[in-house]
Amino acid sequence: MAGANIELKLVGQWASVFVTRVKLALHLKGLNYESIEEDLRNKSELLLSSNPVHKAVPVLIHNGKPICESQIIVEYIDETFAGIGPSFLPADPYERAVARFWAAYIEEKLVAPWDRVFRAKTNEERDEATRKMFAAVDVLEGGFKECSKGKGFFGGDNIGYVDIILGGAISYAKAAEALSGAKLFDAAKTPLLAAWMERFSELDAAKTVLQDVDRVVEHGKMLIAKNAAQPSTTD
């Protein structure tokens, strides 16, 4: 991989979709980096000093300087290493704004309720989060059509910013079917996104970075059981 003289460290945690986004960006750029696995139950001094505001992963440390928040990190990688590998964001300002819009949509309307599915304390909470998640996928099908212009990825012919943001969650999308029996990206309902997921999964970077689905399923079961055992704050 490129970047032999560049010092890059990624403080992360294997199950995090946000960390996976950054790993995808680094691999797509062909950059060498040191991966530092964080124990979020016993946060290291490195994490606390690198991200004192949120105390969360991922943190990318580039030549001693920390960059936080996955979307910001992916943009930082794209800008800082513009001469290496593919560009993630379009050159055109309008198309760049559209990509950022859909990335923000994925974060707010898909990933946030997705997280609540695993962390819900009641079946009612889980059902509501699931409903919102599937509604977001229906809208995102139209977003893919707009961004891809009939080609294979949100970025067109090549992987782009939105592909990376959504691609980090593919293992969880596949695990969701095993956990609930419902396909998040169903070829009958969202054929464009279903085809996109299969296409993305075949990329070398995806095969290298994406979590093992069986491990994600077990992690999901553990989260669901843990949160179900806790009393609801709404009681």
The two tokens of residue 1 are: 């991989």
Residue 204 in any domain: the answer is yes
More confident: 7 or 119: 7
CATH number of the domain enclosing 13 = 3.40.30.10
Place 120 in a pLDDT band, splitting at 50, 70 and 90. Answer: confident
Task: Give domain status of residue 88, yes or no.
Answer: no
DSSP state of 128: H
For the chain, the domain total comes to 2
Sign for the pseudo-dihedral over CA of 217, 34, 23, 203: negative
Give the domain-ending residue among 39, 60, 81: 81
Do 185 and 209 reside in the same domain of the chain? yes
pLDDT band at 16 (very low <50, low <70, confident <90, very high): very high
Q: What is the CATH number of the domain that holds 202?
A: 1.20.1050.10
Cβ-count burial of 113 within 10 angstroms (0-12 exposed, 13-18 middle, 19+ buried)? buried
Domain annotation covers residue 103: yes
Q: Give the end of a domain, one of 81, 108, 137.
A: 81
Judgement on whether residues 129 and 215 belong to the same structural domain of the protein = yes
| β-pair type (34-37, 8-12) | parallel
Are residues 49 and 107 located together in one domain of the fold?
no
List, for residues 154-177, the tens digit of each pLDDT value: 999 999 999 999 999 999 999 988
**100 and 62, same structural domain?**
no
Which residues span the domain enclosing 156?
A: 93-226
Q: Is the pTM of this model over 0.75?
A: yes
Task: Please give the average per-residue pLDDT across 196-200, as a whole number.
Answer: 97
Same domain, 70 and 184: no
**Shared-domain flag, residues 212 and 165:** yes
